[in-house]
């Protein structure tokens, strides 16, 4: 476990850089994490996904997969890949300050 | 008073649970009802062998009701919806079945229609799946006509039943094409959304090594966005393309359709959120779920369902007695993995312990873990007998209990 200074706020992150405590999340923090991962600016569409991700995490205790995002976030999978390149669920979870989607097995 | 237990699904899980309950309780104590939309129980592990002409399709199917003990009521009807508040199941034939305890064991449904282009004109021509019986038979015929080219196996997305089956298909295809003298004319490719051959590190490395030895190309982190049948290419969401002449797809899996029509029962994909240890569904204390239908963080596989069935019956018994649910499922899974040429390896794992090398079920064997052997292949080929005659009837299987054995595993190999 490590402490990172993101947006001038110390936050704890795990070995892969995901926030340990999702309640430490702020929108400024999200923008900072997004920039570090090559997303220059978080648009309303990005934030729609990020907010859905947080809602779902706090309601169910787990971060949704990309398939669940595509079905329920209001943003189709194709666009998710445009907004969050390569691994949308993983990157959106990172930016949303929630744990890495555990993935399906 | 007689309690009524309704079990949805007469596959592996539903059948074992029903038979174990029927053995345990007298008919004056518990009524056991089982609902399924058809009367065909398919031995799904056998589907893998059909495309290579190594399993007779007609021998993989037996009537569901015959697998159920005397005193179990079988209802052949589709489920319209479950109303957990009213504790009743609405059947498509218009009848209503009330319950004291419900067990959801309806497995998965293949959803090829969810992937753009997958079910297009090439479906059944050069795009196939072996994940259901008609598909496996059609693929057998197509493979017999195959004369070389690019044979691509694609897992569209997870979760899927039996995550090792696509690997096994690739291994068997390699051996099959070698026997026919076509291997040199064939590029064999496995495209997967995973970052390796399997989900867990040690097994992923070993299985990845076996693919490489056989010259099977592994395309990782590939998320299929579209099947372009005209051009014969998988198109990934990230823009990558994998061309094919013959595509063997593992389509998206979801829960049974009625789950989505049942308030509070399922998640976005139609799987039933379930306590991973007690197997109680989150929706209500008198609902349990097991097997492929549940949303648990372990492989969807027959062995998993079998081990869960034993735990579920213990906890259901406690529930009826008003006692706390203290039987605990540890995530135990046990799978033979066919690697071609009459050999197989065996993996055995649970929520905590990934598949490791060693011996099974004890340090004395007789089976080898994560290593190819003839004995493992014979074990796999003999298993149908065990399935129909011991596992489904709910008889105890020596050496194959719900708790994962640690003895025999080489723990030093853990990642």
Given a cut of 70, whether residue B119 has pLDDT beyond it is yes
Q: What is the pLDDT of residue B82?
A: 98
Mean pLDDT of B88-101: 97
> Within 10 Å of residue B142's Cβ, how many Cβ atoms?
17
ipTM given for this complex: 0.75
Q: What is the pLDDT of residue B60?
A: 98
> Is B268 within 8 Å of A87 when comparing Cβ atoms?
no
Given a cut of 60, whether residue B71 has pLDDT beyond it is yes
Given a cut of 60, whether residue B358 has pLDDT beyond it is yes
Given a cut of 80, whether residue A37 has pLDDT beyond it is yes
Calculate the average pLDDT of chain B: 96
How far apart CA B278 and CA B331 sit, in angstroms, is: 11
Q: Which residues on chain B are in Cβ contact (under 8 Å) with A66?
A: 157, 223
Q: Which residues of A touch B (CB under 8 A)?
A: 60, 64, 66-68, 71-72, 77-78, 81, 85-87, 102-105
Catalytic residue of the set A1, A8, A59, A104: A104
Which domains, and CATH codes, for chain A? 2-96 (1.10.10.370)
Active site residue A78: no
> Is B299 within 8 Å of A105 when comparing Cβ atoms?
yes
| Sheet (strand B343-349) strand order | B333-340, B343-349, B365-369, B358-362
Q: What is the pLDDT of residue A105?
A: 44
The bridge status of strand B127-128 relative to strand B246-250 is parallel
Mean pLDDT of A20-49: 94
Given a cut of 80, whether residue B400 has pLDDT beyond it is yes
Q: What is the pLDDT of residue B258?
A: 98
Q: Which residues of B touch A (CB under 8 A)?
A: 157-159, 163, 199, 221, 223, 225, 237-238, 252, 267-269, 273, 297-299
Q: What is the pLDDT of residue B84?
A: 98
> Is B159 within 8 Å of A71 when comparing Cβ atoms?
no
Across the interface, of A64, A67, A72, the residue whose CB is closest to B157 is A67
Q: What is the pLDDT of residue B238?
A: 87
Q: Which residues on chain B are in Cβ contact (under 8 Å) with A64?
A: 268
Q: What are phi and psi of B115, to 5 degrees?
A: -105, 125
Q: What is the pLDDT of residue A10?
A: 83
How far apart CA A44 and CA A29 sit, in angstroms, is: 16
Given a cut of 70, whether residue A7 has pLDDT beyond it is no
Given a cut of 70, whether residue B387 has pLDDT beyond it is yes
> Is A105 within 8 Å of B269 when comparing Cβ atoms?
no
B176-204: per-residue pLDDT in tens?
999 999 999 999 999 999 989 998 889 99
Mean pLDDT of B208-221: 97
Given a cut of 50, whether residue A65 has pLDDT beyond it is yes
Q: What is the pLDDT of residue B177?
A: 98
Given a cut of 90, whether residue B341 has pLDDT beyond it is yes
Given a cut of 70, whether residue A104 has pLDDT beyond it is no
How far apart CA B160 and CA B158 sit, in angstroms, is: 5
The sign of the dihedral angle between the CA atoms of B408, B412, B413, B415 is: positive
User: Which residues, listed in sequence order, are joined to residue B369 by a DSSP beta bridge?
Assistant: B346, B358
Q: What is the pLDDT of residue A1?
A: 56
Given a cut of 70, whether residue B272 has pLDDT beyond it is yes
> Is A77 within 8 Å of B237 when comparing Cβ atoms?
yes
Which domains, and CATH codes, for chain B? 3-107+256-320 (3.50.50.60), 112-252 (3.50.50.60), 334-413 (no CATH)
Lowest mean pLDDT among B167-176, B318-327, B375-384, B396-405: B396-405
B2-22: per-residue pLDDT in tens?
999 999 999 999 999 999 999
Q: Which residues on chain B are in Cβ contact (under 8 Å) with A103?
A: 158, 199
């Amino acid at each position: 476990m490590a402490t990172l200074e993101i947006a001038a706020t110390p936050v704890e992150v795990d070995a892969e850089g995901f926030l340990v405590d999702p309640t430490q999340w702020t929108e400024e923090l999200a923008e900072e994490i997004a920039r570090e991962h090559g997303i220059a600016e978080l648009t309303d569409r990005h934030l729609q996904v990020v907010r859905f991700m947080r809602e779902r995490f706090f309601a169910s205790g787990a971060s949704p997969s990309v398939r669940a995002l595509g079905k329920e976030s209001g943003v189709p999978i194709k666009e998710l890949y445009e907004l969050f390149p390569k691994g949308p669920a993983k990157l959106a979870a990172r930016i949303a300050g929630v744990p890495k989607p555990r993935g399906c097995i | 008073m007689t309690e009524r237990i309704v079990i949805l699904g007469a596959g592996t899980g539903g059948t074992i649970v029903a038979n174990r309950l029927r053995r345990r309780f007298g008919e004056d104590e518990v009524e056991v009802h089982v609902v399924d939309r058809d009367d065909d129980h398919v031995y799904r592990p056998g589907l893998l062998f059909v495309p290579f002409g190594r399993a007779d399709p007609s021998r993989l199917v037996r009537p569901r009701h015959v697998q159920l003990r005397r005193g179990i009521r079988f209802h052949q009807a589709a489920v319209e919806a479950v109303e957990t508040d009213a504790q009743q199941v609405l059947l498509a034939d218009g009848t209503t079945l009330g319950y004291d305890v419900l067990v959801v064991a309806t497995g998965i449904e293949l959803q090829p229609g969810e992937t753009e282009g997958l079910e297009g004109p090439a479906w059944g021509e050069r795009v196939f799946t072996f994940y259901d019986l008609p598909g496996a038979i059609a693929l057998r015929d197509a493979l017999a006509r195959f004369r070389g080219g690019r044979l691509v196996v694609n897992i569209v997305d997870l979760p899927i039943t039996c995550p090792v089956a696509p690997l096994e298909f690739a291994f068997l295809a390699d051996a099959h094409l070698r026997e026919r003298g076509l291997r040199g004319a064939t590029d064999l490719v496995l495209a997967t959304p995973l970052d390796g051959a399997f989900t867990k590190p040690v097994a992923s490395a070993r299985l990845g090594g076996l693919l490489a030895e056989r010259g099977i190309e592994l395309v990782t982190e590939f998320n299929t966005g579209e099947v372009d049948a005209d051009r014969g290419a998988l198109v990934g969401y990230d823009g990558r393309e994998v061309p094919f002449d013959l595509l063997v797809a593992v389509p998206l899996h979801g829960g049974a359709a009625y789950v989505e029509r049942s308030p509070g029962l399922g998640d976005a994909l139609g799987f039933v959120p379930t306590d991973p240890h007690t197997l109680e569904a989150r929706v209500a204390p008198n609902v349990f779920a097991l097997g492929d239908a549940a949303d648990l963080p372990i492989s969807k596989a027959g062995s998993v369902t079998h081990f869960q069935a034993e735990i579920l019956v213990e906890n259901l018994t406690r529930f009826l007695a008003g006692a706390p649910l203290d039987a605990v499922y540890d995530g135990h899974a046990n799978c033979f993995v066919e690697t071609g040429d009459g050999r197989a390896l065996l993996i055995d794992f649970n929520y905590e312990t990934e598949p490791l090398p060693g011996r099974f079920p004890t340090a004395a064997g007789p089976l080898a873990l994560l290593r190819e052997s003839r004995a493992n292949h014979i074990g796999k080929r003999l298993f149908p007998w065990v399935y129909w005659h011991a596992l489904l009837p709910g008889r105890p299987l020596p050496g194959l209990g719900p708790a994962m054995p640690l003895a025999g595993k080489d723990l030093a190999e853990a990642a």
